[in-house]
Amino acid sequence: MENQAVKFASGNEMAILAIKQIGYDMMGYYPITPSTQIAEGLDLLRSETETDIIMIAAEGEHSAAGVCYGAAVGGGRVINATSANGLLYAIEQFPVQSGTRYPMVMNVVCRAISGPLSIKGDHSDIMFMLNAGWPILFAHSAQEVYDFNILALKLAEKVRLPVVVAYDGFFTSHQKRRCLYFEAEQTVRNFLGQKKEEYPFLDLEHPVTVGSYMNEPDLINNRYQLHLAMERAGKVLPELYQEYESISGRGYKAVEGYQAEDAECLLILLGSSFDTAMEGVDTLREKGEKVGLLTLHVMRPFPQKEIAQACREASVILIADRQDSYGGGGGNLSLEIRAALHKSKKEVKVKSLVYGLGGKDFFAKDAVSMFEWALSPDTPDFDYYGVEPGKERKERPFFAPLLPEKTKIGATKVRKEEDGSLAVQGGSLNATAGMPKRLAPGHGACPGCGIPVNLNLLLRGIEDPVVLLFQTGCGMIVTTAYPYTSFKVPYLHNLFQNGAATLSGLAEICYRKQERGEIPAGDIVFIMVSGDGGMDIGMGSALGTALRGHRLILFEYDNGGYMNTGYQLSYSTPLGARSATSHIGKKQYGKSFFHKDMPQLMAAAGIPYVATMAESNPTDFIKKAAKAAYYAKEEGTVYLRALSACPLNWNDKPMTERKVIDGAVNCCYFPLYEVENHKTVLNYDPEKFGKKIPVLDWLSMMGRTKHLKKESYKEVVEAFQQEVDRRYACLKAKAENPIL
Amino acid sequence: MERGSLPLQQGKKYYEIRLESIGGLGANLCGKMLGELAVNHLGLNSTSFSSYGSEKTGTPVKAYIRYCESGQEIRVHSPIVTPDLLVVFHEALLQDPGVWEGCGKHSRALVAISGSAKNLYTDVCCNLAELWVVNAQQIAMECHSRINVVMLGAMAKVMGFVSLSDVECICEAALGKKYPDALAGNLEGIRRGYEQVNRLNRDGVASGEPDEFSQREEEAWGYETAPIGGINPCFGSTVLSDLSPSRQGYLPIFIKERCINCGLCDSTCPDMVFQFMEGEYKGRKMMVNNGLDYYHCKGCLRCVDSCPVNALVQGLEADHPEKSHFMPNQELIRTPDYYRKAGADGYITSESFLTEKRMGGGEV
């Protein structure tokens, strides 16, 4: 046995430790709760020079999977971590990787899939992986997360398949326990050995083609090879468990039991519930009930024989699924176990319960109730556990609906000029204070948050009825936590790689219904609201919508980071800014690349109106909103971007946020301009008002960038200033030369 | 009580602690430190975790810590229902019966208070073995520490089997290397929490039976009654949230005589607090600021910073129990039967970024 030390750590922290000790070459990732901590923790270690793993922050999970695939083909040892819809978004890539046989490891920190959106733990994501051709190990404790991460890579490289290590989101990923780990990194590396490549891709002397075009009669043979590799994984795993036990003292089997040997009634469940249920078994055993538990450490290859063997004494078997294969009469664990038991001759009663969806807590007493349910002759073969019929609710609205006459307050008027541009009258703060708020108060945004401020400014300038679509992000989470909602107007959420496309469909069906007279004519303004994070992963969808030219507004609140998941870098995070995935340390100074110039990308799509706005210039903001509404109703797609304060993650004082925004405008980091019918107009030139400040003055106002004041970051600041100056000079040239 | 020996209730396998807090006060990190304390310093086994994501559903934050003897495995992953020690980080939570769930004669409670504790026993919804109080916010402000650190010191005293030096050690381990500057203040916060926590004598104070947990009308949807697809037809219903617990001691005070009705406050307020209505100012018809909806003011003070004529000024909440110009939302067509106490739910912790910042005494 090798030397081991104690660590009080969560499942995610043990994954980080294993990944560091293994010495992976690369992680390609995109943050998603509850797996995000893994990338964050590795970036922190990287900044402290404790690992030199290459960290690539892709713009979405689909790309992250692509990054990992490319690196695996290149012969690197590669790791990924994801959850829920991230896994589903990337899923197309997984059979590509298993079919072409490139090993890697991916941690799937299991979470409920949308919609409605839940961030909590269940197994609805991982079961979508069952047909992907990846072996799937399932850890039910933080200790197993560590052990299985090490085992997984060895398995992957032995059978040349990518492998998943799955574990419960939050219950396992976030609960801290006492765990053991190898004191010497070398122990882990010796266990794994060197990676061997059968066909080294980067060997120029022996060029290979990967990813052939293959139909009948060949594809089935390729798939049979994959099947054989999976069969082999089933044989290799017990050997690996044994080898691992000899260095760690911890032995594993595909199927683990608790009081199962002589149990007449067995409860089978996956993940952390197995541990909790032991206490329920103890309670019933004290009363003389012969009950026991089983769990699986591996879902692929499915341990059919081991399960059948472990169930041979039981007369009643209850499988509790933390997801449902809707219409299948049970979750996938149930279906697979039922199939496995079909081979055994013994007469046995098998029942299934779906429980604990969306992170609903599982107590020891729930295990007791489940046993009682299973042993009762009156219960069906399949049911849900822990659902409530609820009570009738009377609809008594708090607000009157915002019908068109309520919002047509005449405070802002738009007129088309002869040259085709729009002139806006009004828009004063006093007059527009009379605009009814489209959002109710009581939302849960942080004190001083810029999102509702920007949204209210936008909607003050729009006097028509609005339909709002929010992409996933803080703005959506803090306004719509069930059973409450802040919205007083029609509102829809969709995942943030697809909001713009969804709104395209919604707007077009509305216009069609209006043409047919099925709903009243009259102007409705369709607005998608997205953070800058949503404009990374949803960039393609937004550009596609703009290129098609649907009549709607794409409104981006840019707070420069993925704030909803705890502030990881976005492509709009300023250079040098500290974030949870761009730490400051010996090797890193914060974010390593420039902020994305999204307005110019959208302007290049040739849409009629692009504008930037800031709450520090509120009347300009409101007037642009009025223009945007006009263009969205009459001509085509509009893109608006407002800089939005995040006191929590910018690490500054909530009360001074308007001044910080003003600083961003005055240093020309966030210039106020519009591109109206392809012509650029600068709305505010700080130089003319003698208000121009160096970029560093603005960066010094925020805790996330304050460190750049240090002499050692001089070069970073100089590069930043040059880029800001370059972009501003470019804008000025465009404003002076309409042809540009 | 002997150091390190666990005072286990009859029939219980674990010593259980539940922290009740509001996002931003650092209960999550406090729970983690308590977990490490047991494993690294007390020779016990432990687990710690928080009410995940609750920061984002408008409900206050809970953190859970279980202790047991070193040789014993901790198998349960479920939240703590019957705590041996309940710790309440904010007074605003006291009236919420859910906070006291599962407490009884077996429980000690520790409450962070800011003013007098005279009426505390009547606020508490259940019988308790012991009730302790500490003015955590004041101590934290005075020694440039954080509420969670002060509470950690106070908890050591209340638990009995943890010494002051144990909690000092864990604080040093968590902070010493990264934030040497903040360490002295935090150690002082711990010490003063330990020394200044008081046990309340309940002589002459009546204490009722625990209330039934009131089922709220709005939360009673189930599979037979909830609209399909998670659709929510109750538009604007977050108006039910009373967000005053989000305020951290300060609030905007409106001096109406100075107001020029420019509307800047309304344009900078994230919480729709200002009640502008048609009226007259200096003989002109215009929108006039009639007051503030303090139910929904989170105390960010953006309006104070934006007001060009000092018609809005920063005031101490304690100095203004009667808020003048308090005007509930004027767009309501039905007054809510109650307002549910809620904290801002945007406080999202990122292990490697924010918790450190908070521990370092950074502005959050």
Cα–Cα dist B356/B33, whole Å: 12
Instruction: Yes or no: say if A376 and A318 are a contact pair by the CB < 8 Å rule.
Output: no
The DSSP letter of residue B319 is: G
Cα–Cα dist A608/A628, whole Å: 9
Residues of chain B with pLDDT > 70, as a percent, come to: 82
Q: Chain A contacts of B301, Cβ < 8 Å?
A: 448, 654-655
- Check B238 against A485: CB less than 8 A apart: yes
- Mean pLDDT over B76-98 rounds to 87
Q: Chain A contacts of B273, Cβ < 8 Å?
A: 441
pTM above threshold 0.90: yes
Q: Which residue has the higher pLDDT, B90 or A528?
A: A528
Cα–Cα dist A479/A475, whole Å: 6
Place of tokens 């020996």: B5
pLDDT of residue B202: 66
Q: Is the pLDDT of residue B214 over 50?
A: no
Average pLDDT over chain B reads 83
- Check A399 against B293: CB less than 8 A apart: no
Nearest to B19, CA basis, from B106, B97, B112 = B112
Q: Is the pLDDT of residue B173 over 90?
A: no
Peptide bond into A483 cis (omega under 30): yes
pLDDT of residue B119: 67
- Check A456 against B353: CB less than 8 A apart: no
pLDDT of residue A420: 85
pLDDT of residue B297: 95
- Check B263 against A361: CB less than 8 A apart: no
Complex confidence, ipTM: 0.93
The two tokens of residue A261 are: 């040997």
Question: What is the H or E stretch that residue A137 is in?
Answer: strand A136-139
Q: Chain A contacts of B354, Cβ < 8 Å?
A: 566-567, 580, 648-649
- Check B353 against A482: CB less than 8 A apart: no
Nearest to A460, CA basis, from A526, A409, A525 = A409
The two tokens of residue B302 are: 């953006």
Q: Work out the minimum CA distance from A134 to partner chain B, whole angstroms.
A: 28
Q: Is the pLDDT of residue B215 over 50?
A: no
Report residue B54's pLDDT band, with 50, 70 and 90 as the boundaries. very low
Query: How many other C-beta atoms lie within 10 A of the C-beta of residue A21?
Result: 21
Q: Is the pLDDT of residue B363 over 80?
A: no
Q: Chain A contacts of B342, Cβ < 8 Å?
A: 442, 444
Distance of CA B274 to the CA centre of its chain: 25
Q: Chain B contacts of A356, Cβ < 8 Å?
A: none
Question: Dihedrals φ, ψ of A695, to 5°?
Answer: -55, -35
The two tokens of residue A60 are: 């979405």
pLDDT of residue B56: 35
Nearest to A382, CA basis, from A321, A426, A441 = A321
Instruction: Yes or no: say if B134 and B150 are a contact pair by the CB < 8 Å rule.
Output: yes
Q: Chain B contacts of A432, Cβ < 8 Å?
A: 263
Q: Chain A contacts of B230, Cβ < 8 Å?
A: 115-116, 482
Instruction: Yes or no: say if B329 and B272 are a contact pair by the CB < 8 Å rule.
Output: yes
- Check A563 against B246: CB less than 8 A apart: no
For the range B33-38, what are the long-range contacts, defined as Cβ-Cβ under 8 Å and sequence gap of 24 or more? B33/B152, B33/B167, B33/B170, B33/B171, B33/B174, B34/B65, B34/B152, B34/B155, B35/A8, B35/A176, B35/B65, B36/A8, B36/A176, B36/B170, B36/B173, B36/B174, B37/B162, B37/B166, B37/B167, B37/B170, B38/B65, B38/B67
pLDDT of residue A104: 98
Question: Dihedrals φ, ψ of B141, to 5°?
Answer: -65, -40
Report residue B27's pLDDT band, with 50, 70 and 90 as the boundaries. confident
pLDDT of residue B117: 66
Report residue B344's pLDDT band, with 50, 70 and 90 as the boundaries. low
User: Which residue of A lies nearest to B72 if distances are taken between CA atoms?
Assistant: A178
Mutate to test the interface with B, among A170, A176, A583 (most CBs of B within 10 A): A176
Place of tokens 């290979």: A208
Q: Work out the minimum CA distance from A698 to partner chain B, whole angstroms.
A: 18
Question: Dihedrals φ, ψ of A371, to 5°?
Answer: -60, -45
pLDDT of residue B116: 67
Nearest beta carbon to residue B346 from set A175, A449, A618 = A449
Q: Is the pLDDT of residue B212 over 60?
A: no
Mutate to test the interface with B, among A648, A649, A706, A707 (most CBs of B within 10 A): A648
Cα–Cα dist A94/B129, whole Å: 57
pLDDT of residue B91: 81
Q: Is B321 exposed, middle or buried (0-12, 13-18, 19+ CB in 10 A)?
A: exposed
Q: Is the pLDDT of residue B170 over 70?
A: yes
Q: Work out the minimum CA distance from B303 to partner chain A, whole angstroms.
A: 7
Q: Work out the minimum CA distance from A71 to partner chain B, whole angstroms.
A: 26
Nearest beta carbon to residue B261 from set A430, A436, A480 = A430
Report residue B351's pLDDT band, with 50, 70 and 90 as the boundaries. very low
Backbone dihedral region of A331: left (phi > 0), alpha (psi from -120 to 50 degrees) or beta? beta
Residues of chain A with pLDDT under 50: none
